[in-house]
Chains A and B, each alone.
Chain A
Amino acid sequence: MKKKIIVEVKNLCKTYEYVEKKPGMKYSLKNLFASEKKQKEAVKNISLKIEEGELIGFLGPNGAGKTTTLKMLSGVLTPTSGTVKVLGYEPIKRQNEYKMQFAFVMGQKSQLWWDLPPMESFLLNKKIYEVSDQDFKKNLDEMIEVLDVGEIVNKQVRQLSLGERMKCELIAALLHNPKVLFLDEPTIGLDVVAQKKIRDFIKKYNKERKTTIILTSHYMEDISQLCKRIVIIDLGKIVFDGQLEDLVSKYATNKKVTIFFDQKITRQDAEKLGKICQFESNKVSFDVPRLNVKDAVAEILSSDFSISDIEIDEEDVESIIRNVFTK
């Protein structure tokens, strides 16, 4: 069965105009009279299709164009050129019918009322999105339980911790059961426990409700734990779009061979054995080309050092992606 296409993006471009100001009072004053306008192409010719129920990760360094793309998908930003269709709507027309069907959670922006408990914001969103009493109660109870926020929904937002607030942001955004969810760095600045809780929640939500979720993050964990398909964006272009496994087989050219020595060895000695990626007196990791692993290990074993153990690992996704960017 062919799945419905939810998001269709063709040749999307966005150029920002910005004012350049060199540091210093002199330039600040100069800027008052004549400012130097410059242009930056934040997104260059991006095309992509997303199917119903996908959980897809946008990955890339700061300023790569991930968020800009999300902003165009949600209708915050007007594209410079190209077309965007989400659920059959053109986001930039900002029709209410479209707004009722998506949600956008931003790690760095809040839609909760700062001076009031989150519950008041939930109730407001219930009205804004015209959610029935029944659905509201069902959705809310379920999310409160999964995210474990029963204690805090009646506490002022400004008194919440970042992690607690983020959980409430998610609830506020999901009360109307959106078909598409945009998550912009939902775990930014959170501790490991809170990150995991939010990650698990997103995963479960996507699985149970078949909500199409598009997520940006620069935490590798988020992406590798959650997303099957990842889109790597760098300098406004898509440099990779495919399954996580494909990324590994395509870009992971090396394996990591870790040798545990019986005695301490010097860096100089270790360097003779191969290219070091980590060095700790009696534990050394080498980057070894995938095809050479057997030979390399044989060579190390036949050396004069006495070796207690060997580990061979896939390169971690983070360093694979670093490879992609430095290509």
Chain B
Amino acid sequence: MSKYLAVVSNSVKKSLVYRANTFIMVVSTFFSFVVLFYFWSSIYGQGNKIGTYTLAEIISYYIFLTIFELLVMGDGTAWSIGDEIKSGQITSSILRPIKYLEYKFSQSIGSLLFRLMIFSLPIIGALLLLRDYLVAPGSLMVYAFFALGAIMSYALYFLVFYIVGLISFWTGDSYGFFFAAFVVINFMQGGLFPLDLLPKWFLMVGNFLPFKYLFFVPVGIVTGRLVFDYTFVLIPVLWCVALYFIANLLYKKGLKKYEGYGI
């Protein structure tokens, strides 16, 4: 365990190196919240409406989408796997007594901690500034369920992109697959528009897939449009377990094909 903590810590330190980069990220994040607010205020101000969403609900929806994009959705760690395979850099991980999935996950956690550190400032600032225009959750339990949902989402995201990265073992490069996966995931999680604007049957099918648990469900809980249900945890947990096994199986198979390029 302590070796993985050391990876987490190195990963945080690595992120802290580039100060100017960090500063720009923080400032631009704050502005993206403000822009969202004015955008939707102006649309609703002209009498338009998105489904049954009130202005406060729609602003909350997209603000949480931005927060998820910053914190939960792929930090590039899983994306880097494809590159490591392509360039042969993965060799140094294969040779050391360390599990690759856990190693990459630790890197990802390190990067998450870093982002929590730097983005909490603009996020909290924006939430405070816009508090009168947002939906406020009714009870502490809602926050707890939301946090649980976000953790599930984080794990699912990591595993999905980890698996996509491993495709490089067979195809040499997996950017095409990343792009395809991103397009599908972003739509299916409600990243383009709220999923309850779609027909009912679509949501029914989606219940059994991992996608809506990535974003639509957690944001539904925090905005009060969804009431917490045990399936909100059960289904993503089952998917995590399944994806974990698939990931390890693919890694094993992939290594058989691996040729350690470039060394």
Interfacial residues, chain A to chain B (CB-CB below 8 A): 16, 67, 71, 74-78, 94, 96, 99-100, 102-104, 106, 108-111, 113, 115-116, 120-121, 123-125, 127-130, 156, 184
CA of A99 to CA of B92, assembled, Å: 11
The residues of A that contact B196 with a CB separation of less than 8 Å are none
Whether B258 pairs with A99 at a CB distance below 8 angstroms is no
- B97, A99: Cβ atoms closer than 8 Å: yes
Rounded to whole Å, the gap between the CB of A93 and the closest CB of chain B is: 11
Whether a CB of chain A sits under 8 angstroms from the CB of B200 is no
| Residues of chain B at the chain A interface (Cβ within 8 Å) | 2-3, 5-7, 10, 13-14, 17-18, 88-89, 91-92, 94-98, 255-256, 258-260, 262-263
Closest 3 CB pairs of A and B: A111-B92, A99-B97, A96-B97
Q: B6's closest neighbor in chain A, by CB?
A: A127
Q: Is the CB of A67 within 8 A of B263?
A: yes
Task: Tell me how far the C-beta of A33 lies from the nearest C-beta in chain B, rounded to whole angstroms.
Answer: 15
Chain B, Cβ-Cβ closest to A100: B97
How distant is B107 from chain A, measured CB to nearest CB, in Å?
Answer: 10
Task: Kindly identify which residue among A67, A110, A128 contacts B96, using a CB–CB cutoff of 8 Å.
Answer: A128
- The docked-state distance in angstroms from the alpha carbon of A196 to that of B85 is 33
Q: Which of B10, B88, B95, B97 has the most CB of A within 10 A?
A: B95
Distance from B172 Cβ to chain A, minimum over Cβ atoms (Å): 9
With CB as the reference atom, state the residue of chain B lying closest to A128: B3
In the bound complex, how far is the Cα of B260 from the Cα of A183, in angstroms? Answer: 15
In the complex, how many angstroms separate the beta carbon of B252 from the nearest chain A beta carbon? Answer: 10
- The CA-CA distance from A74 to B260 in the complex, in Å, is 11
Interface contact A184-B17, CB-CB below 8 Å: no
Given A76-B91, A77-B258, A123 contacting B6 (CB threshold 8 A): yes
Knowing A77-B258, A123-B6 are in contact, say whether A115-B17 is a contact too (CB < 8 A).
yes
**Pairwise interchain contact A106-B91, C-beta atoms closer than 8 A:** yes
Contacts A106-B91, A128-B3; is A116 near B14 (CB within 8 Å)? Answer: yes
Instruction: Note all chain A residues with C-beta closer than 8 A to B255.
Output: 78, 94
Are the C-beta atoms of B260 and A76 separated by less than 8 Å? yes
What's the least CB distance linking B243 to chain A, in Å? 22
A17 to chain B, nearest CB (A): 9
